[in-house]
Structure 1
Amino acid sequence: MTTDLSALTTAAKRWDGMAKEFHKQEIAYKRDVCGITLGSGWSGLSADVASGRFNVTLKQFQAAQVEAKAVASLLREAHTDFTNIRKKLESTRADAVKAGMAVSEGGVVSCDTTKLGEGERTALHHDPDYQQSVGKAIASWQAEIDRLVKEMCHTDSEVENALTRVVIDSDVSDGTLNGFNGHAHGDIKTYEDEAKREAAQTKPDGWKSEGKTETSGPDAGWSAKGPDWGSGKLGEAEAHADLGSASAEGSLTRGPWKLDGKAEAYAGAKGSVDGSFSKDGIDGSASVFAGGEGSAEGGVNVGPVGVSGKAEGMVGGKADANLGVSKDGLHVGGEAFAGAKGGGEFGADVGGVSAGFTAEGWAGPGAEANFDYGKNAQGVWEWKTSVGLSPALGGEVGFDFSVDPKKVAHTAGDLADAVGHGVSSFGQAISSVF
């Protein structure tokens, strides 16, 4: 009730001023930076690459204006909403006082006995009907004030939600991961509707959706630890210089149907090395990567039957080597590649028995070989092999086969139940004939 709400409109003016300053910078950047790639003095691959990066920055100056104007609009709308609700509260309190009520600074309503005559005071102490009528009046005024306070709290939450969402860069194609929001708007209710849609996981058509997104970068750092003889860790170390990364995943389920998908992207450089030993076996690996990579995958499952696919690509350099020996299997692999490659994989699963095929095309020198056989952490037995070679242009092919004993047993049980129900139904039909 005592907050200076004019601070909101003052801030809104400053945000409008910020948008104007960004507009000035946009003009200067377009003229003095982007413009140098359009003249005749600079041409070729370097000019094309520079132009692409400069255009990303130019669009950020434009997006910053959109975001700043949207924030200004949200602040003005918040000022209007808060002012209107507070006026209603002040008016309701004044009406309650006129009706013989007392309203504390905390919004608590009571009967103002100082305004009662001698007869009314006597009735308040001895007349049950009068006491009941006063109690109803207090409850009615209290409910109206509580409603308005609740409305103010809800509006405050809506404003917070809008100011949180307006600065989120939702456009993954603008060349940045955490840039300005070029699609920002100044409508609090629209952002509230977005939040409600995200909160409603079950759609009207019966599909249930789940999903999440993550972004990070730029970032750089390193870590190292070990040895830890108690756990069998000989040691591990990693270092990274990330330009940025992003990932998203989600699923839709309805009855026996399930659709799921996942996408990831990374740009930067990273490397790691680790080793361990235990009574179950030994493991060791080393890897280094510099460049950019991305992948997208999805699958459809209906009961015990499922199909899946995946596409991925990489531009840069990569090398790794790994070895693992345990009582449950063996893994040996290594890779060295520089250039660009892309490919995909396809697989199918029926009742716990699955098979898949992978293929990649390589543009650049490289070689790779991997062999896996054994049981994974989920108890699934797997057999995988792949080989690739590329003097300049080449590729890789691979095949995998797996058996999930638990899923096979579960599917067999379901099949037996279905056959049993069928036999039972047939028997009941025969009985009905007789």
Structure 2
Amino acid sequence: MALNYHEVMSTDFGLLGTAAGKWQSMAGELKKIESRYGETVQKITTTDGWAGRSAVSAEKGFAATRYEYAAAQVQAKAIAGLLRDAQEKFTDLKNKLVSARDDAIAAGMTVSEQGHVAFDWAKLTPGERSAYHHDPDGRKAIGEAVGKWQKHIDDRVKAVTELDHNVKAVLETAVTDSNKDALGKGADMSLAGFNAGATGDLDQALKDEKAARDRAAKEAEAAKDGPKSEGGLKITGPHAGTTVTGQKYGKEGSAKAYADLFKMTAEGKYQNGDFALSGIDDITVGARASANYGFTHEGLAGKAETSAGVRTLLEGRADYSHWGGAYGRTEGFAGGEAALSGSVGWEGVNAGAKAFAGAKESVAGGGELAGIGAGATAEGWAGAGAEAKVTLGKGDDGKWHVGGKVGVALGIGGSVGAEFTVDTDKFKKSAGDAADWVGDTAGDIKDGFVGMFD
């Protein structure tokens, strides 16, 4: 909603400085609480008197709570800084509006309390008024002058309105959790807590806000240009190679060897605004073996697998922005394979084992809504083998996975599996969009009631 001349002239922007002082004081009080929490509650987990799984769990939970206290301080200080900068900018723009009004009056105009400009006929003598009355060019010049001064004042009011909208946007961003230390990157365990990444520099915040709007506008403009498609076919082979790396710098050690006789991959993608279709067709003939091991900051992990034969993959996906999508996939394998894996860490646990010789064909399908997905797979086996796998944690794709798979065959058999996934980035964006929609709807309803009573 746009501000008017009277609102700008009658607003005491010094109150923003008063509010900034209170937010700064709040940050100091939160610091006291954080220190007291660390010296009393959190300290319990650092003593020798408590050990075991409950102690480990409590240590993470207490660290997460203290992180929120620290993040709350960052957020409070950022809001204080934004309010101080906003006070300075609003005051400067109000002074420019006052100056524009004074200049208009000095030029022979009147400016009402509502900001309406008119020619000040009272300053003219009766003879001058009579002369203007009988002079069409003079009356035209007066009309043009009034229009020029009205626009000058309206532009000053418009500048305050634009700043008001931008400050509102950056304040909303400042109190939205950036999750810069979440999802395994730090002690943050809340996706909707305080914002440890908040900035108190209004100029920088305005630049970031403008950049975000420009990106959104560019994406919207690109969507107007119509659908786009891309893809291609790639054929390689034969080729072979080996790599061996030791454990270092917090990374797992690994050993890999492969020999591909033939590999063909065809990919395609169709994009039309937020709607996208994609597909892949892959055929590989060859053999490979690999092993990973290590104890890193993420936990303990080990994996070894080997396979030889022919693999095929055909997959299609349909997605709509970050709101959701669906997929279907079929895979085939003829040859032999064996694998053993296991890991335990902060981001989950998984374990699995399989051994198989023969041929298998699988189909899988699933969907996703607002970052939460579910899928299932079924395989038919002709051969001999067994497989079991359980997953609980974060995968290489950045999603959190919960699922399992089990199968057995002695001549004829098969396997079944299911999995649930959570894409925290998509979930956060969808939740933000939903919150914006609710807020906008509530605002429209409120404005409707206010308009009705007006």
- Name the TM-score class by shorter chain: 0.5 to 0.7
- Rounded to whole Å, the distance in 2 between the matches of 1:181 and 1:108 is 44
Partner residue, 1:154: 162
Q: Is the 8 A contact 2:331 2:363 kept in 1?
A: no
Q: Does 1:187 align with 2:180?
A: no
Change (3 A) 1:154 1:8: same
- Whole-Å separation in 1 of the counterparts to 2:39 and 2:10: 49
SS of residue matched to 1:4:
coil
- Cα distance between partner residues in 1 of 2:90 and 2:24: 21
The runs of 5 or more residues in structure 1 that have no matched partner are 211-252, 259-298, 310-344, 365-370, 377-382, 401-434
Written as runs of structure 1 = structure 2, the 5 A alignment for 1:133-172 is 133-171=141-179, 172=182
1:177 matches 2:191? yes
CA contact (8 A) 1:158 1:188 kept: no
Q: Which residue of 1 aligns with 2:234?
A: none
- For residues 229 and 363 of structure 2, the distance between their equivalents in structure 1, rounded to whole angstroms, comes to 32
Which residue does the alignment assign to 2:211? 197
Once residues 300 and 203 of structure 1 are traced to their aligned partners in structure 2, the CA distance between those partners, rounded to angstroms, is 29
1:256 aligns with 2:256: no
Return closer, same or farther for 1:396/1:203 CA change in 2, 3 Å cut-off. farther
Match of 2:246 in 1: none
Matched AA of 2:269: V
Cα RMSD (Å) of the superposition? 4.3
Following superposition, the deviation at residue 71 of structure 1 comes to 0.5
Distance 1:198 1:300 in 2: 31
For 1:190, the aligned partner's letter is Q
* 1:126 aligned to which of 111, 126, 134: 134
C-alpha distance in 2 between matches for 1:399 and 1:207: 45
Native 8 Å contact 2:390 2:405 kept in 1: no
One-letter amino acid of the structure 1 residue matched with residue 96 of structure 2: K
- Per the alignment, do residues 349 and 176 of structure 1 end up closer, same or farther by CA in structure 2, a change over 3 Å counting? closer
Over residues 231-264 of structure 1, what are the superposed CA-to-partner deviations in whole Å (9 max), with x where a residue is unaligned?
A: xxxxxxxxxxxxxxxxxxxxxx983139xxxxxx
Alpha-carbon distance between aligned partners in 2 of 1:308 and 1:170, rounded to the nearest angstrom: 38
Question: Shift in Å at residue 300 of structure 1?
Answer: 6.7
In 2, distance between residues paired with 1:389 and 1:16? 59
1:266-285 → structure 2 map (5 Å cutoff): none
Corresponding residue for residue 301 of structure 1? 268
Provide Cα deviations, 1:6-51, integer angstroms capped at 9, x if missing partner: 2211111110010001100111111111111111111222211111
**Aligned residue in 1 for 2:315:** 348
Q: 1:126 to 1:391 in 2, by over 3 A?
A: closer
| Deviation readout 1:264-296 (Å, 9 max, x if unpaired) | xxxxxxxxxxxxxxxxxxxxxxxxxxxxxxxxx
What does residue 89 of structure 1 align with?
A: 97
Q: Would you say 1:395 and 2:405 are equivalent positions?
A: yes
In structure 2, the partner of 1:226 is none
CA 1:205–1:257 in structure 2 vs 1: closer, same or farther (change >3 Å)?
Answer: farther
Q: In the superposition, relative to structure 1, how do residues 132 and 196 fare at CA in structure 2: closer, same or farther (>3 Å)?
A: same
Match of 2:441 in 1: none
- CA distance in 2 between counterparts of 1:2 and 1:78 reads 17
TM-score (norm 1): 0.53
Contact 1:257–1:301 (CA<8 Å) still a contact in 2? yes
1:106-117 matches, within 5 Å, as 106-117=114-125
Q: Per the alignment, in what secondary structure is the counterpart of residue 279 of structure 2?
A: strand
Change (3 A) 1:21 1:111: same
Cα 1:346/1:184, change in 2 over 3 Å = farther
Inter-partner Cα distance in structure 1 for 2:171 and 2:161:
15
Q: Following TM superposition, by how much is the alpha carbon of 1:56 offset from its aligned partner in structure 2, in angstroms?
A: 0.8
Tell me the TM-score normalised to structure 2 length.
0.51
Distance in 2 between the 1:144 and 1:190 partners? 28
Relative to 1, partners in 2 of residues 1:113 and 1:308: Cα closer, same or farther, differing over 3 Å? farther
CA contact (8 A) 1:70 1:166 kept: yes
The alignment partner of 1:256 has SS state of strand
Aligned residues: 268
Matched, 1:59 2:33: no
